A and B are shown apart, each in its own frame.
Chain A
Amino acid sequence: MKNVMMLCLALIMSLSLLAQQSRVTGSVTDSKDNSSMIGVNIMEKGTLNGTVTDINGSFSLTMTTQNPVLVLSSIGYQTLEVIVDNRSILNIVMEEDSELLEEVVVVGYGTMRKSDLSGASVSVGEDAIKGSVITNLDQALQGRASGVTAVMTSGAPGSSSSIRVRGQATINAGAEPLYVVDGVIVQGGGSSGASFGLGDALGNGSVSTISPLSTINPADIVSMEILKDASATAIYGAQGSNGVVLITTKRGRAGEAKFTYDGMTAVQRQTKRLDMMNLRQFASYYNDMVSTGQLEESPYYADPSLLGVGTNWQDAIFRSALQHQHQISAQGGTDKVQYYVSASYMDQEGTLIGSEFSRYSFRANLDAELKKWLKMGVSATYSATNEDLKLADSDEGIINYSLQTIPDIPIYDIDGNYATIVREGYTNPNPIALAMLDDILLGRQKLTGNIFFDVTPLENLTWRTELGYDISSSKADRYKPMVDLGAWKRSSNESGIQKNSSTYWQFKNYLTYNGNMDDHYFTAMVGHEVWESRYDFTSIFNTGLPSDEVHNPALGTGTPTINSGFGSASMVSVFTRLTYNYADRYLGTYTYRRDGSSNFGPENRWAGFHSFAASWRFSNETFFEPLLGMVSNGKLRIGWGQTGNSNIGGYLWGTRMTRMPSGLGMGYRPSNIPNTAIKWESQEQWNVGLDLGFFRDRVNLVLDWYKKESNDMLMPLQLPSYMGTSGNASSALAAPWGNYGNIENTGLEIALNTRPIEGNFSWDSDFQISFNRNKLKGLAGTANAQIVGYGQWTDVVSVSTVGEPLYNFYGYVTDGVYQDLEDLQNSPKPAKYPADGVFNRANTVWVGDVKYKDISGPEGVPDGIIDDYDKTNIGSPMPKFTFGWTNTFRYKNFDLSVFINGSYGNKVFNYLGMKLTHMNSAWTNQLNTVADRAILAPVDPDKVYPDGANWYDDVTNVRVVNPGTSIPRASIQDPNDNDRISDRYIEDGSYIRFKNIAVGYTFPPETITNWGLQNLRVYANIQNLWTITRYSGYDPEIGASTASQNVFGLDNGRYPSPTVFSLGLNISF
């Protein structure tokens, strides 16, 4: 290698005929792109005489020895020795160090060569992040990384995603992976609206649309490593059980400053509309109810042909929304000091009227070599986000309201004010007024970063000491103005503000030693980490502000409500990692971590976590050599490890007292039942993996099989309501938290990365598919322990039973509708079957009502009665597999990438659809599909009723005209409870989505250098262009419920993800 280099040098050296001189000048360029290299260290060998290249890559040095030799060094490049001979001008080319070029990946507390990894991890590079229009970095994980399912909680701008690494391994709120940015654990500040002080404005669930990750600017990220198996995550011990996402931000490289501008502007829209009844259709529907004696005639609807189509509330609440973002960054530096600085701004309107998200962020990363043995790194980022939030889903969300609002109400009245309606006690707030009048605002600020020193006292030994910090604050602002919409009046306004602040610091020290003896390479790392986080909040709420001009609760004239609170958490850990590599063939890793957490009581505060992994790179064996032409790389990996979870909040081992003022004075209530024995949730995971590369790595296949079992799962004990633990959280006694369950996830991940076509036209393909099976293996308590999830308030929609996957939907199975009296009499008896045989269409089950299947009874067999025994599993929201496929095509300067992702086998509970087909109120609009409901007609139209009774009240004379229908009769009283939870609302949520199509053009360097540019690229991108699905709602991608824990895949008017058309520009100079 060196010989080749020398030859190379010889060729390019200018032939100088000048006699030996003591002065040498010249320039240094990079072999890759012929660019000038600045800051290259040039020493005259054997002396202390030296210099560095200047900004143009030039140098000049006076020689002091005979036959001088120059030694050139620069980070990332091979050190070079140049014999000067008699030359006075030298043009030297330096080559990058191929050793360093080998892919290095970030692992916890260090880096490793990718080829040395024995655990399972997956990288998402800068390209994937750049390739899609994302606001939050977690959105970039969708479909890009095998073993990771990412489902957006909402289509709102800046919204959170539900990320699950290798399935749902725990059921408490902390099922999201750990995010670590440059070694600093990301501090969420809560994921529910209530934790920010928005009360229930965003729903009552433990997750909301607010994303902790939306404060991070994705454009600053260079790569993300997702550590999946326990041997990889065990180094994060107590915090690693849900997987770890290590995020690395961009850092400077030596050289002249390079400026980059990235800009993007986009239009977003909602393409799908539900088929709701328009005014004419609604009037016919109403009149049909009148003709069967259910409603009184209405003069408004008497003649539908005179009516228009009425208000289309969907068109009114959805809009085309703009988004734009700009980022400018500069990087550069010298051999000793490198910097990266950036500033960015983004603003995204939501497609739901009134919603908006904006973010500013600034970053400065600095690396410096202070001494030969001492390096320093500093990074700091500040970000500020502002959100205009709207409650889209849930019973009180804008989507529910808008769809249920009947179409004869105008948006505005003739004076241009918002119109509203009240019909017999049902007040539907005008959805537009609701969206536009009430404020739900959230502003967040965050300063985060770290400073570290790397000390190298001995060769191969590095001591890193690092202080990380995160200082955050937020301001949540809720305002309800005075409203006077005629029928809807609120003459007293309300204003509430809550400010939260939190500080977090972590201090860690670790020593890493790299050693080798012959072919035995080993590293040993030992370290210590401690962190503390503190939070506090104050809130003030008042009513009766004199006007709505200024939104400050201090202006209120009512009695103010003031609240404040504070708390803290801490953790202390020691850890070690040992790796061993024999001749790049046999590799092994052992890690151990011991953690102490303030979340646990003195009895069980500490826990230790081990892991082992080994791999065999069989392609490096001598016997494999004949096969190398075909199989260029082969590695078998096996690993086992333990991790833990303590993510439950503080002081659950004791009983908290909380304030509860009463009419008799201040009161204090024990808010929970304690559990002094609460301890770590632990997880054990096996992983077997195979890496194969074919045809000089043009085809790469990574297979991983895993089985992970979570034991002692942290969760609230599931108790029947007679234990006093149900109902409003501030009124019930919270059930004890403890270690109550076991969950097992097994799965298979396949990633296939190929380059089918190379050359002028090239095609890269990345395909990954993840299968996961999830099973609840055990729950503490009795045989009947269950985990129950609620739809909105008290209706059980999901039940997780032992031996089944988590979060199965639970309800009745339908069996068509009752055709006639005979059918009623011969079918299993529902609750409203009249004991005396006297049927009444308002009080008892009736022809046209839903017939439910008799599944079981008290003896475990069907008993002819439809009751609670007949409720059963009606579908799982867990996908059988998810996949993603990225294809990148390049031709000359054009590139095209097509990214498809999908999910198969998951069921969606169309809870919104349930309310849009219940037909039990005359004042809510319904889907047009209710036209296919069971239509009743007389069996004998000629039957005469001497007492003036109607055929539709005579059960012997009623039949269903359309026997095949699955939609019941319309019934205002709905005695049979036709809209109870049943498989009527369970739909297939499988989908294939053209997630991203991007086309770009990079201008040729020769053109743009004339313009003084280094790089110029323009691109266009379409996101969510097309979704193939059988789901009838807006969007089959539905994450965790924002209304209730333990519910997944329930669509209660989820904010649908928009289709985004964007244009972008990337310039560097």
Chain B
Amino acid sequence: MRSPLAILLLAALGACSTPAEPWSDAWMLEEGERYLADPVARRAGLLESMESRDNIYARERIANYGLESSGWDTLPVWNPRSETLTGDMLDAVEGGRSPSVDAAPLWDGETPVTMAAWVALGREVFFRYPLRADPYVAHSVRELARDESGAWPGVLAFRDVDGDTAIGISCALCHTSVEAGVVSIGAARREFDYGAVRLAYHDETGAPLSEEMRARLSSWGPGRADITADETTDPVAIPDLFGLREQSSLTQAGTIRHTGPIALAIRQETQYLHANHQRSRPPRELMFALSMFLYAIEPPPPQGMDEAAERGAVTFGRLCASCHSNAAFGGPLIEARAVGTDPALANGAARGTGVYRTAPLLGVRDAAPYLHDGTLPNLEALLGRARLREDYTGGTRGPGAIEGHEYGTFLSASEREALIAFLRTL
């Protein structure tokens, strides 16, 4: 028989809840409560998630985020009315009329209590929370792919913070692909040439554009944009969003330590308020919901392995897996000098850290062009030696050597073919 003391002790132990396993749904919901309710946790989450405090991204956030009674915490909260753009709406715009935006505010104000409800709300944010008004996209929207309903995923009609109707973009514009009306969430929209869209706007409206800027926009090409905030032309590829939960760093330059969902929610919160020119901030509930949705994105299903792919898997394990080591085949930060590719993003003032994140490889078969700056057209080029020569002409940015990430370029032809066969199964 147990003594009363033992019973009391057991009861006390039972009352102490077991800590939730990191990255379990229970743990993420607990983290969500901390993000929503605890300003100290938000400030601490920001500080511990900055890989470097020297780039503009970190300096601006450290100066303005999580200060409670000043800075961005004191901006008004914007719960927008927005709708995915349809053909009827665009007809109205092209007829010189404002499209009717009758939608209710994106969020009904009810805080979700289950993971499924958070993910569902996050999906709405992904498709419908305006990242910003974008007249370039509005001008060229008919050239973009439509979904099965005839709407343009990621293109919105919305009431902006001044009450005007605007056409803008959401996450979904760059981070969904659309083929024959079918929308693949999380896949970069690689055919989307934002530089060409902007050029078309200037050419067709007569809006002035400097020759320097014209040259820069012309150089981006499909699936790439220049985000380095400097005078040089160094566009980078739009990344896929697969396997986010597995990543220890966010952004290709590893700007953000992915310490947990609070880090991702802060990343989204500050991106939205910044892109909307610091005139409002999004409801934090929506940013946590978006984070849960991003974690829930399913990568493309793996392909079956044939004999060549099985040999390639061995080569991968021997040659690649020390870096591409996590469940999404991504991995740690690597010094940009060691990777050897164009260091402009890693060393840039905007978000540079001196390193690159080991790229996740889920869905890599469809992820061309390759390298962080999208300079190589296919896996054969990536793993071949020809691209390292000055007379190489296959690069997406014109003739010349494409240096760096030489891992795999010394393989024999049969080993290379096998490795590529394996990569195409991921």
A, B in one complex: no
Show the binding face of B for A, using Cβ within 8 Å: none
Q: Residues of A with Cβ closer than 8 Å to B? A: none
